[in-house]
Structure formats: structure tokens, C-alpha cells
């Protein structure tokens, strides 16, 4: 089965840039979606199709995808960005949806 690998945690100071990576075999050939989940809340789609932002998501959140790594970048980090972030793909061979293990972003 297809596996997505994320680092468990990232720490960043306010105003700095956080980069969250999602590794997978030839992930650049797939569409990657990113979710933000705050404690006690359902996940929220923040990036779709590698780099598209749904309505209402700030431009500070951006995505890219190439080779074996997809990246969610949070620029000018704010305290409100502290959350767990998950990547997700649809794996066509199995017709399954796969989530990464999640990355906890801590704002120092």
C-alpha cells in the first residue's frame, strides 16, 4: 500500500516560515491535498491539488509538489497556525485514500 511520510513535529517562531514535508514514492505524479486540524476540531482542507487554496484560506499557506516530496509552506507564521497538518492523496491503483501521519506545528 502507498505510504506518506511526514515529520512528527516542526517548531517555528512567529513571523518566520514553516515548511512541512510529505514524502511518497513519485508523489509528484499525484495530486496532494493538505488539511489543518486544531484540537477538538475536524480537519480543514487548506490546500488542494498540490497548490490551490480553497476560499477563505490565507495566501500565507502555499503548497508545492515534485519528485518524491510535497511541501506545505506557511509564511509569516502566526500563533493561530499552531495545529496538526496532514497530507493526503488518492492512490489510483488501489482506489484508496491515503493520509500522512501528520505534523504538529508549534509556534514558539
Partner 1 sequence: QVQLQESGPGLVKPSETLSLTCTMSGDSRRWYYWSWIRQSAGKGLDWIGRIDISGNTNYNTSFKSRVTMSVDTSKKQSSLKLSSVTAADTAVYYCATISTAGNFDYWGHGTLVTVSS
Q: Does 67 bind partner 1 (CB under 8 A)?
A: no
Look-up of cell digits 491515503: 98
* Among 9, 16, 49, 80, contact with partner 1 (rule: CB under 8 A): 49
Among 14, 54, 67, 80, binds partner 1 (CB under 8 A): 54
- Residues in the chain, how many? 108
Which of 19, 64, 75, 98 binds partner 1 (CB under 8 A)? It is 98
User: Is-contact 50 64, C-beta < 8 A?
Assistant: yes
Site for partner 1 in 14-33 (CB under 8 A): 31, 33
Q: 15-49: string of b/e by CB count within 10 Å (b at 16+)?
A: eeebebbbbbeebeebebbbbbbeeeeebeebbbe
Number of chain positions touching partner 1 (CB under 8 A): 25
Q: Are 44 and 64 in contact (CB under 8 A)?
A: no
| Residue closer to partner 1, measured from CB, 14 or 29 | 29
Q: Which residues bind partner 1 (CB under 8 A)?
A: 1, 31, 33, 35, 41-45, 48-49, 54, 86, 88-90, 94-102
Amino acid at each position: 500500500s502507498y505510504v506518506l511520510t511526514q515529520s512528527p513535529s516542526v517548531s517555528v517562531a512567529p513571523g518566520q516560515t514553516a515548511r512541512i514535508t510529505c514524502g511518497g514514492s513519485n508523489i509528484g505524479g499525484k495530486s496532494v491535498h493538505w488539511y489543518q486540524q486544531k484540537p477538538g476540531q475536524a480537519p480543514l482542507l487548506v490546500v488542494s491539488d498540490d497548490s490551490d487554496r480553497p476560499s477563505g484560506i490565507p495566501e500565507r499557506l502555499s503548497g508545492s509538489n515534485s519528485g518524491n516530496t510535497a511541501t506545505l509552506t506557511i509564511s509569516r507564521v502566526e500563533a493561530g497556525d499552531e495545529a496538526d497538518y496532514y497530507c493526503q492523496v488518492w492512490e489510483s491503483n488501489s482506489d484508496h485514500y491515503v493520509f500522512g501521519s501528520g505534523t504538529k506545528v508549534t509556534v514558539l
